[in-house]
Amino acid sequence: MDVYCLIGYPVKHSVSRYMHNAAFQHLGIDASYVHFSIKPENLKKGIEALKLLDIKGFNVTLPHKESVLRFLDELAEEAKLIGAVNTVVKKDERLIGYNTDAKGFIIPLKEKTSVKGKVALVIGAGGSAKAVSYILLKEKIGKIFIANRTLERAKKLSSSLKKLGKETEVKVLALDEIKTIIKEVDILINTTPVGMFPSVESCIVDESLLRKLSKDAIVYDLVYNPLETKLLKLSKKFNLETISGIEMLVHQAALAFEIWTSKKAPVDVMKKAAVNALNLFSKNK
pLDDT in tens, 126-158: 889 999 999 999 999 999 999 999 999 999 999
Q: Tell me which residue of 195, 193, 171, 166 sits closest to 184, measured CA to CA.
A: 171
In this prediction, residue 285 has a pLDDT band, given cuts at 50, 70 and 90, of low
Which one from 56, 65, 118, 143 is the annotated catalytic residue? 65
CATH architecture for residues 2-99+247-283: 3-Layer(aba) Sandwich (3.40)
Q: Where are the chain's structural domains? A: 2-99+247-283, 102-243
pLDDT tens by residue, 170-179: 999 999 999 9
Superfamily of domain 102-243: NAD(P)-binding Rossmann-like Domain (3.40.50.720)
Q: Mean pLDDT across the stretch 102-120? A: 97
Annotated active-site residue 44? The verdict is: no
| Residue 270 confidence class, pLDDT cut points 50, 70, 90 | very high
pTM over 0.85: yes
pLDDT tens profile 187-240: 999 999 999 988 999 999 999 999 999 999 999 999 998 999 999 999 999 999
